[in-house]
Amino acid sequence: MEMNRVNIEAFDQAIEESERNLASALKTVKVEGRWRLGEKGSQFESELGYQNGKVILYSDEPTFLGGGGTSLNPIQYCLYGVASCFAASFAKWAAKEDVVLEELTTTIEADMDMSRSFGLSENPILQNMTLNISTKSQASDEEIDRIRQITMKRCPAFYCLTEAVTPEIIVSRT
């Protein structure tokens, strides 16, 4: 059965498998890319595989940061990840709660203070971030707010924004 473009049976199976074996909920996610030295166009590229194929993504800094402005910048990808992950989580949990969505859009916006990136301050780089969810549904405002609260607790990208996740940085030489 599908609701909100979510295969509920597949989602239920994943949850049930994790209930039986919590270790099955652990998935490794990997992104590998390269800085395109000596080439024209975007500064960075990454070939990412997904279940049914692969895609090559490019990013480039805006010209004021020394890039060519030829592709999306890394912060746009970051915000895209948050917006799309939140939408996916919202749609899944709405479906699990039998809330039919007729429309769902997300908009994320933030003020970016580059002074920290320039080594001039300790100001937060992203400030005044707003994630706006717009939905059309026959569900009550209370039901929609309950889905919002569930999503805030369970969305992986929202977790990464709101909790300290400090990666180990390893530099190797080739």
Helix pair angle (141-154, 74-96), 10° resolution: 120
- pLDDT band of residue 169 (cuts 50, 70, 90) is very high
Domain count, the chain: 2
> Are residue 158 and residue 114 in the same domain, yes or no?
yes
pLDDT tens digits for range 103-136? 999 999 999 999 999 999 999 999 999 999 999 9
Q: For residues 91 and 6, what is the distance between their CA atoms, to the nearest angstrom?
A: 7
SS3 89: helix
Do 143 and 136 meet the contact criterion of CB atoms below 8 Å apart? no
| Mean pLDDT value of segment 146-167 | 95
User: Confidence band (pLDDT; 50, 70, 90) for 4?
Assistant: very high
Do 65 and 113 belong together in one domain?
no
pLDDT in tens, 36-82: 999 999 999 999 999 999 999 999 999 999 999 999 999 999 999 99
114 and 142 both lie in a single domain: yes
What mean pLDDT, rounded, does the chain reach? 96
Contact criterion met (CB below 8 Å) for 101 and 93: no
* The predicted structure's pLDDT at residue 22: 95
Residues 157 and 82 in one domain: yes
pLDDT at 100: 97
The boundaries of the domain holding residue 39 are: 31-72
pLDDT score at 46: 98
Using pLDDT thresholds of 50, 70 and 90, give the confidence band for residue 159: very high
Res 154: pLDDT: 97
Q: Are 62 and 82 in a shared domain? A: no
Q: Provide the whole-model pTM.
A: 0.92
